[in-house]
Chains A and B, each alone.
Chain A
Amino acid sequence: MSRPGTFGWFAQHEARLAWRDWLSLMTGGHRRRARSVALGFIAFALFVHGLAYLMLASATNLRGPADTHVLVIITGTLALAGSLMLSQAMESVTRAFYARGDLELILTSPVASSRLFAVRIAAMVVTILFMALVLGAPFINVLAWRGGAHWLGAYAVAVALAMDAVAVAVVLTVALFRAIGPRRTRGISQIVAAVIGATFVIGMQFAAILSFGTMPKMAVLQMAALVKRAPDSDSLIWWPARAVLGEKMALATLLGLSIAVLAAVIRLFAPRFGPLALATAGLSHVATRRIRHRSRFHTATPMQALRRKEWTLLLRDPWLMSQTLMQLLYLLPPAFLLWRSFYAGDGTSALVVPILIVAAGQLGGGLAWLAVSGEDAPDLIASAPVSQARVLWAKAEAVLGGIAVIFAPFGLALAIAAPFAAFVACVGVAIAAGSATAIQYWFRTQARRSLFRRRQTSSRVATYAEALSSIGWAGTGALAATGTWLAVVPGVIVLAMVAGAWMISPARSPSPI
């Protein structure tokens, strides 16, 4: 055990908290599930390794010297991974500023709080690295198995990328704090994080649509024109890719630079974390903005009042808005495809149908959680003279009404280009959102709205059922849009899966009320 107040002691403290937090996240607080989670991880690892093997089956030249073609693909993949890691890092840094937890205890104690914050910044590197390797490690392992041990250099590059991502995220978030103040930083930084995470993926999809008329993004990296225009293979820009390939000089330089950058950021910013975090603590005590246009509830029926309340609360919470509506960023490429298809008249607009359905399912699930489980005044609602069924129906209407408003423009645009596909999309959107809402209702648990990002922990079954139903309905919609009766098959399977979720849900148990 390290001496109290030292870096090692704080590191042990943080590691213990992180481990318990992660365990709770995975098991939903049920220790008995730990064995199932471990088995699930093994199955997942085997599955992803198999997937990586299949995806890399056609890859050649894994052992030979790297040509520009390979360097472009590796660099593109690193840019994608880096943007996602930066996005995650910004979220982590923002959370560190705004989480109250033990902050006041630490800051009022006689130890140097900068040590704790240095450890927390380092812990973010570990967390982000872990999250990246969950998906990345199987690909590295398969590459090393098929192409040789030099591919293991990719692990060191992942470490360097994680350090760079956290360093940049700390600088960006502190800059936001200085520029727009603590009140707005939380929402804005999360939006920036989501945009950074989505930009590269969406950008590649746009490029793929422009080049090939469809959306598989990795194809962009294999474009002959891109390879032709790429710098010479001895350019510095390829050093990260060369580091992945195990070139010692590139690897040592990349790692050395990343360590130096992170160390500088920790030295510069760790002592400032305390005052910045304290600035967020005062937020609840400052006078809040006055409402000029107040919502009116009393002219409505209880059902209307409930619907309006849900919409008002969501519209007034920029953080929740950003969390729920960020998924819509991914609708930009299909919207672009739709627009392009409309002018080209090539019939590819039907490709949009499954994307709209899956987005509606995911968005519906999030909104339904907020309305059903994230009720901040459950006693008030339960003690009101309105039956539980009517309350839940009003909340479902609020969710589905929101979905209708968001997806109506897409439906209308699609109706002009492909009326039958539009009909299928509208039905699919309604069914997917309705299924997700029903699943959230069956597996409802009372929670604060601020726990929105951790809603999956309350029920793994609900999370998987919601995701599978969205994907299943999207598949059904994709087949239906082509006019084949085969769409009935996945439709029946998804229906059975949703029914199965209801059968095992706590909703079938007697209500305490």
Chain B
Amino acid sequence: MTQDAPLALDIRGLAKRFERPAVDGLDLSVPVGEFYTLLGPNGAGKTTTLRMVTGLLKPDRGSISIYGIDALADPIGAKRITAWVSDEPMIYEKLTPLEYLDFVAGLWSVDGNLAASRARDLLALLGLTPHAQERCEGLSRGMRQKVALAGALVHEPKLIILDEPFTGLDAGSARMVKQALRARVHAGGCVIMTTHILDVAERMADRIGVMAEGKLIADGTLDELRRQAGSGHASLEDTFLALVAQDAAAA
């Protein structure tokens, strides 16, 4: 990451406590035009962090800036340029994919004709055109996930945040989704994603962050992480496990 690059996301001292600290004074910066992947063991605080960024959870303390907008002071402004896709596709069973995209476009106040054109393109891109006018209740889990993803893209957000987006997707669908996300990054957007599928992170991410116990314990390109872990040319899986083990030993 270059120091001068404009930041898509800038988090400072973010903290959230439930029964115990879930996120503990987190600092994280992601520049514009980057595909960033957040890794970590279960309960590391990844999803909590991302839910705070998208305005779904209120932090106990800290600051969140999205493309220069203070997300805590101006949540509506921040939400206008952000999209969120959770691991469990939450869509309306009684709407069709086309109607769902139409509804999302309505929420984000996208022009009607533009929304219709984007919806058609997205459904075609994700192989959903044959199901465009069927109710979502009849779609498989993978198809629902793609509908949710199309919903995140229909208002052309600058920042896309995804929590385990490849859960339930077949290989072909996963490739389509990866291409769609990569295209968004090339177009100047920013994608932040959590995943437990380390192969995907290794191949797609420009930069990888590793969280444990609510803190960012490592951050950088794959080579930078390898150096930090002292793992030579090891795979991301080995590097990740080494970093988590080092952190546990240090604690």
Interface residues of chain A, those whose CB is within 8 Å of chain B, are 284-291, 294-302, 304-306, 309, 312-313, 316-317, 376-387, 511-513
Tell me whether A312 and B94 are in contact in the complex, defined as CB-CB below 8 angstroms, given that A284-B138, A297-B103 are known contacts.
yes
Q: Once the chains bind, are B90 and A294 in contact (CB under 8 Å)?
A: no
A-facing residues in B73-115 (Cβ within 8 Å): 76-77, 79-80, 82-84, 86, 90-96, 98-99, 102-112, 115
Q: Give Cα distance in the complex from A300 to B92, angstroms.
A: 18
Q: Give Cα distance in the complex from A358 to B151, angstroms.
A: 40
- Residues of B near A316 (CB, < 8 A) are 94-95, 135
Interface residues of chain B, those whose CB is within 8 Å of chain A, are 54-58, 76-77, 79-80, 82-84, 86, 90-96, 98-99, 102-112, 115-116, 133-135, 137-138, 140, 151
Q: Once the chains bind, are A305 and B107 in contact (CB under 8 Å)?
A: yes
- Residues of A near B106 (CB, < 8 A) are 297-302, 304-305
Q: Once the chains bind, are B107 and A290 in contact (CB under 8 Å)?
A: no
B95 CB to nearest A CB, Å:
7
Q: Residue on B with the closest CB to A390?
A: B76
Q: Give Cα distance in the complex from A123 to B220, angstroms.
A: 61
Tell me whether A385 and B79 are in contact in the complex, defined as CB-CB below 8 angstroms, given that A291-B99, A298-B106 are known contacts.
yes
Q: Once the chains bind, are A382 and B56 in contact (CB under 8 Å)?
A: yes
Q: Once the chains bind, are A383 and B54 in contact (CB under 8 Å)?
A: yes
Q: Residue on B with the closest CB to A296?
A: B102
Q: Once the chains bind, are A379 and B138 in contact (CB under 8 Å)?
A: no
- Residues of B near A304 (CB, < 8 A) are 106
Q: Residue on A with the closest CB to B134?
A: A288
- Residues of A near B104 (CB, < 8 A) are 380, 384
Which of A284, A289, A297, A306 meets B105, CB within 8 Å? A297
Q: Residue on A with the closest CB to B55?
A: A383
- Residues of A near B133 (CB, < 8 A) are 290-291, 294
- Residues of A near B103 (CB, < 8 A) are 297, 305, 309
- Residues of B near A382 (CB, < 8 A) are 55-56
A402 CB to nearest B CB, Å:
16
Q: Give Cα distance in the complex from A495 to B94, angstroms.
A: 37
Residue among A306, A313, A376 with most chain B CB within 10 A: A376
Q: Give Cα distance in the complex from A287 to B135, angstroms.
A: 9
Residue among A287, A288, A291, A383 with most chain B CB within 10 A: A383
Residue among A302, A381, A384 with most chain B CB within 10 A: A384
A323 CB to nearest B CB, Å:
15
Tell me whether A294 and B96 are in contact in the complex, defined as CB-CB below 8 angstroms, given that A386-B76, A511-B58, A512-B57 are known contacts.
yes
Q: Give Cα distance in the complex from A317 to B95, angstroms.
A: 10
B98 CB to nearest A CB, Å:
6
A262 CB to nearest B CB, Å:
36
Q: Once the chains bind, are A383 and B134 in contact (CB under 8 Å)?
A: no
Q: Residue on A with the closest CB to B136?
A: A288
Q: Once the chains bind, are A295 and B55 in contact (CB under 8 Å)?
A: no
- Residues of A near B80 (CB, < 8 A) are 385
Q: Give Cα distance in the complex from A296 to B100, angstroms.
A: 10
Q: Give Cα distance in the complex from A140 to B68, angstroms.
A: 73
Q: Residue on A with the closest CB to B51?
A: A379
Q: Once the chains bind, are B107 and A385 in contact (CB under 8 Å)?
A: yes
Q: Once the chains bind, are A309 and B92 in contact (CB under 8 Å)?
A: yes
Which of A286, A297, A511, A512 meets B138, CB within 8 Å? A286
